[in-house]
Amino acid sequence: MLRFFNSSEAEDMSRDRCQTYVQSQSSLKQSSNVTQISTHQIANKKPVGGKFKRLFDVVIATLILLFIFPFMLVVWALIRLESKGPGLFKQARGGIHGQAFEIYKFRTMVMHGSCFKQAVKGDKRITRLGRLLRKTSIDELPQLINVVKGDMSLVGPRPHVVAHDKEFMEFDSRYALRFQARPGVTGLAQVSGSRGPTDTPELKLKRIELDLDYVEQWSHKKDFYVLIKTVLLVLFDRRAF
């Protein structure tokens, strides 16, 4: 997700999130349910949208990947040439039924050891190429692989870092209901003005309400609306950094 903080807040928060990243990656290796929250109420329910939504995801994601694969290889190579480190960035996120998975993104920042801190506005670690990838959302394209694997859907609640799942659950127990849906490459909240930080109770509640609205009122029409709105935002919204 896109984050915007002032410089004094960002330094302290990025240090905490760096530690959170290390802990979440360690937890992923130890347990398949790293969200550490109670999801028994939705564990036996079928994913939102059922087989048709899954079929649509696989077909569309596969076709897009086949079409853009050469382009993705070029991006991967340019990232490797510009700075040391892998072309892809992987991080533990909460997925369907609360089970963790590794989300894929193109790496957009220089590496500092084995720890990745959350990006902030004006972050000097972001490479020149990385800044372009973020502004155009090209860094998110590898998540189409997550879609084909079954970790994600084209549309659904955006997956949060594992530690944030627990934080949201403690804030509002209804949060667990979002795990009825596969997390999305894009989501209703993100096209409805709920992008960015959720550092106040009001912002947290708005994000939860929008995610739950998607899960409880899912329809093919809503998915198409989110996809079209996402394309428009990618083309005309320049708030990414």
Phi, psi of 93 (to 5 degrees): -135, 160
pLDDT of the chain along its 241 residues, tens only? 333 334 344 344 444 444 444 444 444 444 444 444 455 556 667 899 999 999 999 999 999 999 999 999 999 999 999 988 899 999 999 999 999 999 999 999 887 655 555 555 666 788 999 899 988 889 999 999 999 999 999 999 999 988 889 889 999 989 999 999 999 999 999 999 887 777 789 999 999 999 999 999 999 999 999 999 999 988 887 665 4
Beta bridge partners of 101: 93
pTM confidence score: 0.79
pLDDT of residue 120: 56
Residues 6+ apart with CB under 8 A from 114: 22
For 107-230, strand residue ranges (E) read: 153-155, 184-186
Q: How far apart are CA 194 and CA 36, in angstroms?
A: 25
pLDDT of residue 29: 42
pLDDT of residue 79: 95
Beta bridge partners of 94: 100
CB 6 within 8 A of CB 101: no
For the chain, strand residue ranges (E) read: 88-94, 100-106, 153-155, 184-186
Task: Delimit the domains of the chain by residue range.
Answer: 7-236
pLDDT of residue 39: 53
